[in-house]
Amino acid sequence: QKQLVESGGGLVQPGGSLRLSCAASGFFFDSYAIGWFRQAPGKEREAVSCITDRMRTTNYADAVKGRFTISRDNAKNTVFLQMNNLKPEDTAIYYCGLNWQPHLGRCAIDPDWFEYWGQGTQVTVSS
């Protein structure tokens, strides 16, 4: 059974940091580009970041460039999102997701790029 399970969300003050993790199972994780998107209440899905299967390319939304870093550990079937200098506007449910085309070699900051995702983890940035 294919699964993506996110963890690491929580409540943090502005300027703080969180590290999200997403554990994958049930498929060949290292064959697929993977990334993160978020959705705040009443707002559209927003792609945040993605990383290709062989980690040669990472992409970021303009809103998070310089603050967020995506990485993956193919040996542990896990993708991470290190989030620094968090702002209240980063508050959302964060989902990890992927596109099912293998060995794509590229990934897009586009919410429609994601074809499969987990249940999400809540991130709240507030003082």
User: What confidence tier does 120 reach under pLDDT thresholds 50, 70, 90?
Assistant: very high
In this predicted structure, which of 6-20, 44-58, 81-95 has the lowest mean pLDDT?
A: 44-58
Distance CA(114)–CA(95), nearest Å, equals 10
Question: Can you tell me the mean pLDDT for 92-120?
Answer: 94
Based on its alpha-carbon atoms, the radius of gyration of the chain, rounded to whole angstroms, reads 13
Percent of the chain predicted with pLDDT > 70: 100
**Tens-place pLDDT, residues 38-67:** 999 999 999 999 999 887 799 999 999 999
Q: Which neighbouring-strand residues pair with 21? A: 7, 80
User: What confidence tier does 112 reach under pLDDT thresholds 50, 70, 90?
Assistant: very high
